[in-house]
Amino acid sequence: MYLSKKKIILVISVSALVLFFTYTDVKSQNIKITDGDTIKINGEKIRFSGIDTPELKQTCIKQGVKKPCGITAKQILIDKIADNKVICVREGKDRYKRTLAECFVNDESLSSYLVRSGYAFAYRRYSKKFIHDEDYAKLNKLGMWSMEFDYPWDWRKKN
């Protein structure tokens, strides 16, 4: 069975359009990383649910030297997202009207990644989901677990 020239051109045109729209959809995501646990996607402010990262001005101490652990948490997130598409599963809104969500890059949870790296904590007050990741980072002295630090919620109270 042979296709007519018109049908072949139609199939090629439709295929090209599908490819074009798929490609532009992936590239149309405007992402801004605010801090270690907050991003903006196309203007929507999204706070990662179930975790807490150090504040941008927060420091930790390693071998007597202050380290910018809040900035480091943000940079780890920037590096992980890179040019990848971020997909978020929305869970509601917080009291600041931010969207609460768990977000993924290449099917990997950004929250789990941050907690396992030692630059985020399981926010047990709101979720028990990332405790296993935190135990892993703590056991292996990763990230902030290799330093002296205040938990982010304690640091915010002091500052």
Instruction: Tell me: pLDDT of 119 over 90.
Output: yes
Q: Examine the pLDDT at 27 and tell me if it is beyond 90.
A: no
| One-letter identity of residue 132 | H
pLDDT level of residue 29 (50, 70, 90 thresholds): confident
Q: What are the structure tokens assigned to 8, written together?
A: 């072949």
Average pLDDT over residues 144-153: 98
- Mean pLDDT (whole number) for 19-30: 49
The structure tokens 């709101």 sit at 126
Q: What tokens does 45 get? A: 């402010």
* Cα distances (angstroms) measured from residue 96 to each of 11, 18, 52, 63: 49, 38, 15, 37
Average pLDDT, the chain: 88
Helices of type H across the chain: 5-27, 69-81, 110-117, 131-139, 152-158
Give yes or no for residue 47 having a pLDDT over 90: yes
Domains of the chain as residue ranges with CATH? 31-158 (2.40.50.90)
Give 62-84 pLDDT, tens digit per residue: 999 999 999 999 999 999 999 99
